[in-house]
Structure 1
Amino acid sequence: MDVSNHASKFNQWKDTYNWNTCKTNRKEYGQFIAQFLTSESRVLNLNGIYGSGKTEFIRRLYVELAQRNHPVVYIDVWESDFSNNPLAVICSELLQQIEYVFKEKDPTGKAVEIGKAKNIFNKLKSKLGICLKYAEPATAFTGDPSLISGVKAISKIVEVTPDLNDSKQFQKYTETIQKNHIESIQAVKDIKEYLTYLSELIEIIYALNIPIVILIDELDRCRPNYAIEILEVIKHFFETEGFTFLVATNTEVLEHSVKSIYRIDFDAQLYLRRFFDRKITLPQVSMMNYLTSKNLDFDKYKNKKVLLYPFIDDQTINLSVFASLFENNKIELRGIEQILNRFFVSLDYAVNQRKSSETLINTVVLMLGLIEQHLDKVEQVERTNAEKAYFSVAIERPIKDLIESMFNCVTITQALKCHSTGGRVTEFGHPQTMLIVESSNFSKVKSTNHQSLESAISKMISYFNDDNFNYWMWEDYQKIILLSGHIE
């Protein structure tokens, strides 16, 4: 049968979200998780910090599972965060996406079985409707929206309702509540049985593999009480044989949500263990591999009167500098994408705003400044052309000396000695204005590949002293960084 019949989003996602387009090198990990997910029925937590690529990973997992012949459902619960009824949301998405299976004709000629499947499907809808029927009244009675869709709420009402046998009206009320409670409890039991039976029939009729996999995304972005209600719904209604749930969250944020509902000293980790059988952690990516896979195009600026320094001959050396800075400062993938976008937008702006002369742009200075902006570092705003740069971002060797030297190429000082290539020194009787890099011996400055940058720095100094050349100083970078900061 067509894959899209058991994975309704497959055709929409298969070209974009597959392992061949994955720049985080998570193919083998994803295939391993797909196998683990489908080995038995369970509820799993996929843990990853904001911006770590959870959504892209879970969508690729969707495509992988669909290709493995598993019915698969994707639910972005944040899209329904405005709702007060998570059971209705889960039911709607589950039934709508699973119903695609039954649009396909029975390929094995088992007309009796497909009739049973459709009958069970309709009964499942009916039983879910019973639970939904009591959800809003239960919330109104108890005033506690975190109780599970009527079932737990009604149970609580029955428990706390006093014996009011003297009042026929209240006795009738109590009997009604008890009847509704019993009906809801039975409906939950029926739902679990129907879901398991339905998965078995799908396997028999369409030769699909079970369990059916439900992928829940963006839970940690939801309102705290809504996020908890979603977990309650999964636990009490859908944790059943034939179904596996993978819930993608920033688990630390989810724990804060739990504490905001209960109390700050509440054991949120223990609480969440009630819902998840296992926790899976999204692995860190190799930053260098990630940047390399993006095929960043520096060459397009050649012959456009924009010179990118200090890596004149091999601009790809930038990648090792960028990777180190991103890793040192623990910048997540989403943040890296924003910074890279601003970096190239800044270069494009320089191309379009160039003067008649050539413009020299120091890629290391521009990137470090953009990272400072991303991390809200005050020195990015307060630093001037006429002072030695200091940094509060994390910069580790071997790039620390490189960073300092590059900033010394865009800031000035007054000095009595001026250094040039070959260790030559010129002395003056009065302080002279020069680049800070000229005020000390720069012959020992190395790039990340351990090659000397003496020649590049010497060339930069010559451009700085050429009045016909547009040489960017720190405050020029500051302006472009400020402009690019308006791009999210």
Structure 2
Amino acid sequence: MKIVIPPIYERDDDALKKDSDFFKRKVFSENLTRLFLNSDSGMVVSIDAKWGDGKTSFVRSWVERLKEKEELLPIYFDAYRNDFTSDAFLSIAAAIQKNLPESKIKEKSADLWKGLVDSTVRVAQSSIKLGVGSAVTALSAGMVNGRDLVNGVGEIAGDVISGAIAYEAEERLQTHLEAEESIEHYKKALGRLLKSSEKERKIVFFVDELDRCRPDFAMQVIEKIKHLFSVDGVIFVLVMNKGQLEKTVAHAYGVSSKDAEVYLQKFIHIETRLPGINNMLRDGSGGLEEYINSLLGAHGIPKDALRFNASAFYSLVGGECLNMNPRAIERAFSLATMVLMTMDNADATGMMLVFFSVAIKVAAPDFYERYRSGRIQVSIGNSQADTVEKKCGDIISKAFEGYFDQRAANLIVFKEVAEICSRIDMFARF
């Protein structure tokens, strides 16, 4: 068995196939794809989802499907992995240039390609001129003149790099004018390049993990997108936890959460929300079963591990009870794998109890503290369960009817639960 498994989009079980739709979100992505194809202008679209809702898996699968669209060029950009740099523009521009050669654009438009590269360098030079001097002055509390230092660095760089980048002391106004000119030149170069192929192409640039970045880098990304990449044919899709990003904005600028929301609205044209996985959990189409089977296979657990009552387990983790998101479900399976490794020969009932118990441990830790004793509350008669504890109790009562030790009007006693939980409690973190 394997305790740690790769993310869903990196597994060897074809989880990233373009037709894979565990979480029933393909219709959502197809609708946005049609919007991109029919739009004549560039835009910034945000997709909001909570941590653990499967944003990255969704985007990576969508990117694979978009590769079949001749009119669209999808680019995936992990902002968190790129926030080691201090210049968001160069990170984004590099991602674009890295992916463009894979298309037919570079082959047919060598001159335009060179123009894009040259304009990228010009914007980078302008950014250095604007930023380095003021940054050095601030960091040295005014003891060192940043502009003078830029001159010195420029002389050294000119000797070492054959003048590739030269810093010259210029009036700030002139520097700003040059920067504006460089930015416009870059935007025009990128636009001309996209229109140069036989069939005009559009870039769909996915920015993932934006809410996990350094606050200053996250701000740079959305501001550079607005000012440097507002080009017809360039569509940005910001995949994020909006609430967390608003906290980042509020912290970075010292404003209220409401002001942070208004601030983000200036940069985003269209806001959307990633559909929750309740569609998968409730529609009975087999999506949850397919997903759970993929987890069993990835962990090396026999596919019939849930044979005792798989439907009861689906009800437990689903929207009608624990409402677990993909990350929580995967954490539960990692924990279940560890527990099963401590057991010699678990029978069907024992294996099922392991999966029930770890799901409760992960998704409802407060209830788990009571559950672990084996005394579980249930609803009375035909009354509808009104708490997570009673909902779980009702599912367990029906799933294991005849296997627990005793039952009172609103309580069942299941001694085997305590033994299973003692194994779970060996692992403080997972």
Common fold, TM-score beyond 0.5?
yes
AA aligned to 1:478 is: C
Aligned length: 376
Equivalent position of 1:246 in the other structure: 237
Residues in 2 aligned to 1:274 and 1:361: alpha-carbon distance in whole angstroms: 55
Q: Does 1:476 align with 2:419?
A: yes
**Cα 1:301–1:76 shift into 2, 3 Å:** closer
Q: Does 1:338 align with 2:338?
A: no
Equivalent position of 1:72 in the other structure: 74
1:83 partner SS:
coil
Note the C-alpha offset of 1:389.
Answer: 5.5
Equivalent position of 1:316 in the other structure: 310
Consecutive unaligned residues in structure 1, runs of 5 or more: 1-11, 107-113, 145-153, 155-172, 412-434, 446-456, 465-471
Note the C-alpha offset of 1:190.
Answer: 1.1
1:442-481 paired onto structure 2 within 5 Å: 473-481=416-424
1:39-58 paired onto structure 2 within 5 Å: 39-40=38-39, 41-58=42-59
Residue by residue over 1:317-355, the C-alpha shift from the partner in whole angstroms, topping out at 9 and shown as x without a partner, is 23443244x5534422111121133335434543x356x
Residue by residue over 1:165-212, the C-alpha shift from the partner in whole angstroms, topping out at 9 and shown as x without a partner, is xxxxxxxx99522221211111111111111111111x33xx3x4221
Equivalent position of 1:90 in the other structure: 92
Mapped contact 2:112–2:189 kept (Cα < 8 A): no
2:171 partner SS:
helix
Residues in 2 aligned to 1:406 and 1:23: alpha-carbon distance in whole angstroms: 25
Equivalent position of 2:165 in the other structure: none
1:35 partner SS:
helix
Consecutive unaligned residues in structure 2, runs of 5 or more: 1-10, 140-146, 148-167, 380-384
Mapped contact 1:380–1:478 kept (Cα < 8 A): no
Mapped contact 1:258–1:268 kept (Cα < 8 A): yes
1:229 partner SS:
helix
Q: Does 1:212 align with 2:203?
A: yes
Mapped contact 1:372–1:393 kept (Cα < 8 A): no
**Cα 1:212–1:222 shift into 2, 3 Å:** same
Q: Which structure's relative contact order is higher, taking Cα pairs within 8 Å and 6+ residues apart?
A: 2
Mapped contact 1:385–1:473 kept (Cα < 8 A): no
Residues in 1 aligned to 2:401 and 2:328: alpha-carbon distance in whole angstroms: 27
Mapped contact 1:322–1:367 kept (Cα < 8 A): no
**Cα 1:393–1:100 shift into 2, 3 Å:** farther
1:216-295 paired onto structure 2 within 5 Å: 216-265=207-256, 267-285=259-277, 286=279, 287-288=281-282, 289-294=286-291
Mapped contact 1:38–1:244 kept (Cα < 8 A): no
Q: Of residues 190, 193, 204 in structure 2, which corresponds to 1:195? A: 190
1:261-410 paired onto structure 2 within 5 Å: 261-265=252-256, 267-285=259-277, 286=279, 287-288=281-282, 289-294=286-291, 296=293, 300=302, 312=308, 315-324=309-318, 327-347=320-340, 349-350=342-343, 352=344, 360-361=349-350, 363=352, 365-375=353-363, 377-378=365-366, 380-381=368-369, 385=373, 394-395=387-388, 400-403=393-396
Mapped contact 2:202–2:234 kept (Cα < 8 A): yes
Residues in 2 aligned to 1:15 and 1:386: alpha-carbon distance in whole angstroms: 39
Mapped contact 1:329–1:393 kept (Cα < 8 A): no
Equivalent position of 1:133 in the other structure: 128
Residues in 1 aligned to 2:134 and 2:406: alpha-carbon distance in whole angstroms: 69
Mapped contact 1:220–1:254 kept (Cα < 8 A): yes
If you compute each CA radius of gyration, which structure gives the higher value, 1 or 2?
A: 1
AA aligned to 1:24 is: F
Equivalent position of 1:450 in the other structure: none
Q: Give me the CA root mean square deviation.
A: 4.1
Question: What is the TM-score with the length of structure 2 in the denominator?
Answer: 0.74
